Structure 1
Amino acid sequence: MKPVWSSLRTIAFILGLALTAWPASAYDTAAKSAIVIDQGTGTVLLSKNADDPLPPASMSKLMTLYMLFDALRDGRVGLQEEFTVSSNAKGMGGSTMFLNELDRPTAEELIQGIIVSSGNDATVVVAEGLAGTEEAFARQMTEVAKQLGMENSTFANASGWPHPYQRMSMRDLAILTQHLIEEFPEFYGYFAQEEFDYKGRSPANRFNRNPLLGLGIGADGLKTGHTEEAGYGLVGSAKQGDRRVIFVISGLPSQAARSQEAAAIVNWSFRHFVEKTVADAETPVAQADVWMGAKQSVGLVPAEDVNILLPALNDSSVEAEIVYNGPINAPVAEGQEIAELVLKPEGLPELRRPLVAAEEVPLGGFVVRVKTAASILLEQLINGPATSAM
């Protein structure tokens, strides 16, 4: 039973940080649509038309790779397992591995052919090998995308070939990238591979199209895309030190514009922002009232260290709130989630992190219950009878 004064409690305070000066300034991207995310904190640094379903061109090959990686992970196929090449796959135009019906490429060769050569034929081989037909595979891609939280993605094919139903948002591509990095670290290294030439058939087409690889800025993936309808795009990721950023851009007018914009976004993301620890997992940030407990309050600590991304030139404080429905009913278990820390850095989205009980608070004994009953009686005498919230 909750006390009559049970309510949503908010504790507002300021977290001091050893930083100086200015709020975040937005980056004015030349891309028609874009998103930039700091992977570690999940902070969205830039969003421009990020939820619009757009033609993804070859960037949608990342979904085909996700499906293949998933099949490798659960043992449906092996890395050295050979795939059959159909006449349908061989007949694909655009970027290819130059496969023919006599070839038996392995899963590993197809991964490299999709990433480095952007092989449309390779994606069809994968689709038919995993689902029987490319149409069935595209339906599976759409279903899995929804399961991953990609709400604005639909697929008609495995390659990104222009089709009215082939659509992805920039946010969805960023979500997919996060999954590729976190779920498949054993395969992620392929995205940084700079050269691949299947059986020496295309020496002029052996280089990875990602313009950021080899620039020394930490870029290690993932996929370019281009069609007349979509313009030039890139799903990219870069890591410097302990920080990683994920970015997606689309709608650039040329390869040169794509290269310049991608490099500028990486540099801006790392130079303009820094990651700070604002609360330690073992240090209480506040106290919450406890109802009918052996103690009247319990310390609130973060479930884990709270890291926040801030402009490199920020002021010396961050606005914060702690929100909980209190007082908290005893008994309280150590580690029990009972509150939420809400951080509000200027110029960036708010960040929410759970707070847990720093210690156990058992139910109070007879004396505590008598004192509590007396306090309720006194309150009713002063304020009139009230109904307790259950």
Structure 2
Amino acid sequence: MRALVAPWLLLFSLVAAAQVPQPPEVAARSYLLMDLSADQVLAQRGIDTPVEPASLTKLMTAYLVYQAIRAKKVDLKQTVPISERAWKMPGSRMYVDPKMQVPVEDLIKGMIVQSGNDATVALAEAVGGTVEHFVELMNAQAKALGMKHTSFRNPEGLSAPGHMTTARDLAILATRLMQDYPEDLPYHAIRKYRYQGTPTANDTNRNMLLFRDPTVDGLKTGHTDAAGYCLIATAKRDFPNLQGRRLLAVVLGASSEVARANEAQKLLNWGFTAFEGLKLFDANATVLEPQVWKGSDNAVKLGQTQPIVLAMPAGSSSKIKTQVARPDPLVAPIQKGQHVGTLKILAGDQLLREVPLVALEGVEQAGIFGRAWDAVRLWIK
């Protein structure tokens, strides 16, 4: 059975009978729109073009901080001393200083809501010991996530030689951050925040969509002269046939703060209306229950641990059909979670997507007499 490729890493393709909606004109250097519920790219341009990430870099810093909290290396209530290096950071600031001992949770809010470079450096020092070691952790994590065209030089996103990424890599990072640390997503939806004793000059989240669209709940803005105005925005909306459908828009190199918000909103609205989410199977639902030979059970349930969802042009879902490819015969033992087959999703004769099917429960080998009897039956078959 041939190896499967993560579907959203491919360009989304459909048969001519299900005409693909044309995306809107997007005033940005590069962009990407993903349906996260279906793991599909709906629209893109220049997603592998190297760009500076600006403060979108802070999503990787956040990822490592959330990771450290889960590993109990740091605690949300733990106070962090503010170093001279953090205090003197240029650019956007939380306005903390060396006289302060600031809780980790407040530094997270300062980093995400205020895009504070001072808060970001303080967190990097708390998790990595030094900024330099933290940057090593950032690059190692980027490699582990499959961000093949990303190299970090700092934790906050100020311009630096070699500090580069792509829209595709940023989408990988944003997706994994939401998948791996969903309980931390609320930080990215906070509209206003200011640490006690600091000025009110920078207390408003720069993600304008948080104020415009109640379905938007993240993620991060960024801006430098070289990067232009950037935004990664995500929204979750409910539909009769699919509750909690989530899209992700990455907009890089827009001309202004307003433009990046407008272009991201345009993409999100288009994706939700031009495509419909079609749930084929629930998580852990039985897609197929084929016969098993030489096993303690006569059959095994095949499915997926996540819902199987497809994004289709609106009104074209009736063209969908499915097929299953699997080894025959299936012979025990079969381990729970073992890849046993592939669900092929087609529109007419055109293959749209392949989804691996796993055993939802294990099947042990039968006793010696059961195996011998099935061996005879297989020989006759």
Q: TM-score, normalised by structure 2?
A: 0.81
Quick one: structure 1 residues 117 and 299, their matched pair in 2 at CA, closer, same or farther if it must change by over 3 Å? closer
Shift of 1:144: 1.4
Shift of 1:366: 7.0
**Residue from 156, 169, 178 that aligns with 2:175:** 178
77-86 or 342-351: bigger deviation: 342-351
**Which residue does the alignment assign to 1:353?**
356
**Which residue does the alignment assign to 1:26?**
22
**Which residue does the alignment assign to 1:340?**
342
Shift of 1:316: 2.0
Map 1:27-176 → 2, pairs under 5 A: 27-28=23-24, 29-176=26-173
* Matched position secondary structure for 1:198: coil
* Matched position secondary structure for 1:247: strand
**Partners of 2:188 and 2:378 in 1: CA distance:** 63
Quick one: structure 1 residues 56 and 349, their matched pair in 2 at CA, closer, same or farther if it must change by over 3 Å? farther
Shift of 1:161: 0.5
- What residue ranges of structure 2 are gaps of 5+ in the alignment? 3-16, 239-243
Shift of 1:341: 0.9
**Partners of 2:155 and 2:275 in 1: CA distance:** 36
Quick one: structure 1 residues 108 and 292, their matched pair in 2 at CA, closer, same or farther if it must change by over 3 Å? closer
Contact preservation (8 Å) 2:151, 2:164: yes
**Residue from 228, 233, 237 that aligns with 2:234:** 237
Shift of 1:167: 1.4
1:197 aligns with 2:194: yes
**Residue from 181, 202, 206 that aligns with 2:203:** 206
**Partners of 2:269 and 2:87 in 1: CA distance:** 40
* Matched position secondary structure for 1:214: helix
**Partners of 1:348 and 1:103 in 2: CA distance:** 59
Shift of 1:141: 0.8
What amino acid is aligned across from residue 101 of structure 1 in structure 2? P
**Which residue does the alignment assign to 2:9?**
none
* Matched position secondary structure for 2:183: helix
**Partners of 1:38 and 1:134 in 2: CA distance:** 35
Contact preservation (8 Å) 1:284, 1:299: no
Shift of 1:372: 5.8
* Matched position secondary structure for 2:159: coil
**Which residue does the alignment assign to 1:246?**
248
Quick one: structure 1 residues 291 and 68, their matched pair in 2 at CA, closer, same or farther if it must change by over 3 Å? closer
**Which residue does the alignment assign to 1:314?**
316
**Partners of 1:348 and 1:370 in 2: CA distance:** 38
**Which residue does the alignment assign to 2:223?**
226
Shift of 1:358: 9.9
* Matched position secondary structure for 2:138: helix
**Partners of 1:136 and 1:291 in 2: CA distance:** 54
**Partners of 2:75 and 2:324 in 1: CA distance:** 49
Shift of 1:211: 0.9
**Partners of 1:279 and 1:233 in 2: CA distance:** 36
| Identical aligned residues as a percent | 33
- The total of aligned residue pairs comes to 354
What amino acid is aligned across from residue 62 of structure 2 in structure 1? L
**Which residue does the alignment assign to 2:11?**
none
49-58 or 312-321: bigger deviation: 312-321
What CA deviation, in whole Å up to 9, does each residue of 1:86-138 have, x standing for no partner? 22222211111122221222111111111111111111111222223212211
What CA deviation, in whole Å up to 9, does each residue of 1:192-223 have, x standing for no partner? 11111233533232110001002234111111
Structure with the larger RCO, 1 or 2 (CA within 8 Å, 6+ apart): 1
Quick one: structure 1 residues 187 and 339, their matched pair in 2 at CA, closer, same or farther if it must change by over 3 Å? closer
Map 1:268-283 → 2, pairs under 5 A: 268-279=270-281
What CA deviation, in whole Å up to 9, does each residue of 1:270-303 have, x standing for no partner? 2222222335665655968x889999x9787434
Shift of 1:368: 6.9
What amino acid is aligned across from residue 356 of structure 2 in structure 1? R
**Which residue does the alignment assign to 2:267?**
265
Contact preservation (8 Å) 1:82, 1:107: yes
**Which residue does the alignment assign to 2:8?**
none
What amino acid is aligned across from residue 350 of structure 1 in structure 2? R
Bigger Rg, structure 1 or 2: 1
What amino acid is aligned across from residue 251 of structure 1 in structure 2? G
**Partners of 1:70 and 1:175 in 2: CA distance:** 16
Q: TM-score, normalised by structure 1?
A: 0.79
**Which residue does the alignment assign to 2:331?**
330
